[in-house]
A and B are shown apart, each in its own frame.
Chain A
């Protein structure tokens, strides 16, 4: 920094001057050369969402630096957000740089979760960019003594129309100053018809680095003087209530490990710290800890009974007409129970964090989805004021919701505080499988009635679920970090959220009811939280399977049956687009002749509108089923997808493909195993996921609506997969499998029973 630097308070000064943070943004004085071509633009401290300078700066060399509270989780949002900003500013993509998730640099945009990054985060950035563009035009108008209407901007240059000599780059116009103005909620936005960058299938900005091994993940962060830590876990792996206590620790068991530093213990939190990673691994393996523990979980076989019996709070989601009187009057009535097990985040890289907790301050490098929320939890854990905790996001392995990223930061923070040195904690595979929060198991009971013509006259949907959100910062602070749960014997907490996602039917059935039974978090069995799609995954499985059951009972084509109860043109379009792409043939239902031999083929469809108000998805799956082995081979999946304005069609397709493959994996393979002590699926052998030979063709139809708001795309497509597959299995075999996942074993026994019953009736 040069001589003018002292006029601008440092970030630290801002932070310590509590209550005057906003002052930083009203600094009217030009900071001049501070923002010189060196590009060392000084960040303005604790960002305030209303201030344009918190979002965006233009450097002298005509680059836009964007401060994004939303972070890259492997979904391509960094690229998409750059496109939005570049287009709105009329600046080349290459001139946009994104600073992500940093509690001293970026605004608090909440979690990067729930498919809300483009929908909300993108909209915020777009407004900021539009405000900045307007400001630049005003500056240019003054400089050239013309009216704004006489100016045009293109690729980072503003010029006077028809006067080639009168032009300046954005960087020259702003001249290294801050904008010092508020984000204008009414700033004129570019007409989507004029987009040049938004809507283009531009490559991911990180891809070259990833391919050559030069991309930095949180697992790669190294800081001077850093030690390595590991946590030694109690036997009640993954339980929502951790009962185990330490009886004794035999520290002599780790004697002689070269580079070993010490054992750290707080309550049931036991960790080891060493100079090298290998020594930490060896110490964690060798340390002899005697635990007091007793089995306290239900047996896996009793899972669904346990869910139905758990203490819960009932909440009526919808109640239209009168289900109770309508059902008995129906000509035909059906009832079914669907079950979905606990599932994990299949992040290939276990969570990792580096913490430096010394002298009353903490710095954390983490792949957390919410740096501000994690900051609150860590401050609580460490007994520091939040402004003394600096949380910096660094990309991690793909996270499909609330995996171990926050927890490992808590582990590293506790260990670092104990040894007064920076500590890196790399979770093991067993840590991630066993201890990250799980997508909760769910139980769904559905009833429906048809009249003589096969029209639906009654519908009831009930779901038993724990909350899907126990993130730090949601309600609990430190208690939602695993380290606190171990150290202080606390249980996680959260608002009742996510379990009712897509529980209510989107169809215009009369006499319909939807009820959620919220299982108390302490009774959730395994620690619950957000996994891609949250409750929509199991809810769409049950809803869309049962609609299929009703269509079959009515002897109607599943596509036509659904269309009969929809009036929203975008819903109808998405179903028709999927059916057309899949060359769907209208059918009236008749049970296939199932034999024990051979291969049976079938197709199934599902429809959803995510959260009943966002993205529209229709999915058609084609399967081959082999009764002898129980194998379900997915041959082809077609997805029609309407998320409004498409920012980057290639990035969007990448997300949808990923959602489909992960959806297949969860539908056919993934089931977390546990016994009365804790989770037993602790590696990829005991929790297998989809592999290359099992991957089908995926065809995607994008329905782009440039004048509609861009809504989320990370989650919606996964929710449609399970029902499309189970409906296809039904179409192929006549067997309705209502418990997920549709493993070989489960399919095999269901089909054997079906073959036996077919034999009996013929």
Chain B
């Protein structure tokens, strides 16, 4: 176990962890950030997505040591109940969840994507989310939510 310093949601956070352990467990268990979710631990579903230096990253397969010195943002860092981010608001307005377990991955992936491509076509949104899985079949609403957010942010 070693002491590491992480920069999470704009704050410096000191943690004691196995350097090889995955970032997701440190975020969820040590920092009590439950936005990122455990879905597969294999990098296949996207439920654990966070932003690292602005890019979408799957925290279940990123060792915590690789997070040192990077800016990490979780769903909690995007917005709050009182002031949700435009993408979070898009999801609320479109009622884009059933169980909501995939929602974190969808919003975080969309955030990185819209930052790169603020005026996407429908097809581009589908491609951007192609590797994020939703088991409930909420895809159509998620697409509408991202589109709405894109308009809002543009």
- Could you list which residues of chain A lie within 8 angstroms of chain B, going by C-beta atoms? 73-76, 203-204, 206-217, 219-220, 222, 258, 276-279, 281-282, 345-350, 395-400, 426, 428-429, 650-651, 654-655, 657-662, 665, 683-685, 689-693, 695, 698
Contact = CB atoms under 8 A, between A and B. Distances in A.
B63 to A, nearest CB: 11
A350 B34 contact: no
B103 A662 contact: no
Contacts of A685: 44
11 contacts: A211-B89, A212-B88, A216-B34, A278-B17, A346-B133, A399-B99, A428-B41, A658-B98, A660-B137, A661-B137, A684-B133
Given A429-B39, A693-B130, A208 B98 contact: no
A213 B33 contact: yes
Interface in B17-43: 17-18, 21-22, 25, 28-29, 32-42
Contacts of B40: 350, 429, 683-684
Contacts of B138: 654, 657-658, 661
A692 B33 contact: no
Interface string B72-113: 001110111100100011011001011111111001000000
A278 B80 contact: no
Chain B contact residues: helix, strand, loop or mixed:
loop
B48 to A, nearest CB: 10
Most B C-beta atoms less than 10 A away, residue of A203, A279, A651, A691: A691
A665 B139 CA distance: 12
A448 B23 CA distance: 60
A16 to B, nearest CB: 35
Q: Across chains A and B, which 5 residue pairs bring their CB atoms closest together, nearest first?
A: A74-B99, A213-B35, A661-B137, A398-B99, A210-B100
A497 B113 CA distance: 47
Contacts of B142: 692
Nearest to B77: A213
A210 B127 contact: no
A76 B138 CA distance: 13
A698 B95 contact: no
Given A426-B38, A684-B44, 11 more contacts: A210-B103, A220-B28, A222-B29, A346-B135, A347-B135, A350-B38, A396-B101, A655-B98, A658-B136, A683-B42, A698-B140
Interface string B118-135: 000000011101111111
Given A398-B101, A690-B137, A349 B92 contact: no
Contacts of A650: 95
Given A657-B140, A683-B40, A689 B76 contact: no
Contacts of A211: 84, 88-89, 91-92, 97, 100, 103, 107
B143 interface: yes
Contacts of B74: 213
A462 to B, nearest CB: 31
A213 B104 contact: yes
A135 to B, nearest CB: 35
B45 interface: yes
A654 B98 contact: yes
Contact of A278 (B18, B35, B91): B18
Contacts of B136: 74, 348, 398, 658, 662
Contact of A76 (B25, B28, B98, B104): B98
A662 B129 CA distance: 17
Contacts, number: 186
B141 interface: yes
A692 B133 CA distance: 8
Contact of B135 (A206, A209, A398): A398
A208 B81 contact: yes
B18 A258 contact: yes
Contact of B102 (A348, A399, A661): A348
A349 B25 contact: no
B18 A74 contact: no
Nearest to B46: A348
A53 B89 CA distance: 38
B148 to A, nearest CB: 13
A232 to B, nearest CB: 16
A111 to B, nearest CB: 17
Given A398-B98, A650-B95, A209 B139 contact: no
B39 A695 contact: no
Most buried by B among A212, A398, A428, A691: A212
Nearest to B79: A212
A219 B38 contact: yes
B25 A695 contact: no
B109 to A, nearest CB: 10
B154 interface: no
Given A212-B84, A429-B40, A429-B41, A662 B95 contact: no
Contacts of A398: 98-99, 101, 135-136
A690 B120 CA distance: 22
A277 B29 contact: yes
Residue among B29, B88, B139 with max Cβ neighbours from chain A (10 Å):
B139
Nearest to A217: B101
Contacts of A660: 137
A660 B140 CA distance: 11
Contacts of B41: 428-429
Contacts of A207: 91-92, 95, 97, 100
B44 A689 contact: no
Interface string B42-65: 101101000000000000000000
B42 to A, nearest CB: 6
A554 to B, nearest CB: 35
Contacts of A279: 18
A700 B45 CA distance: 28
A89 B119 CA distance: 47
B113 to A, nearest CB: 12
Given A429-B41, A654-B138, A657-B141, A73 B99 contact: yes
A210 B131 CA distance: 21
Given A75-B98, A278-B25, A654-B95, A665 B39 contact: no
Contacts of B38: 219, 349-350, 426
B125 to A, nearest CB: 8
A397 B103 CA distance: 11
Nearest to A685: B44
Contact of B29 (A276, A282, A399, A662): A276
A278 B45 CA distance: 20
B47 A348 contact: yes
B135 A397 contact: yes
Nearest to A79: B95
Contact of A208 (B75, B76, B84, B132): B84
A685 B99 CA distance: 22
B25 A277 contact: yes
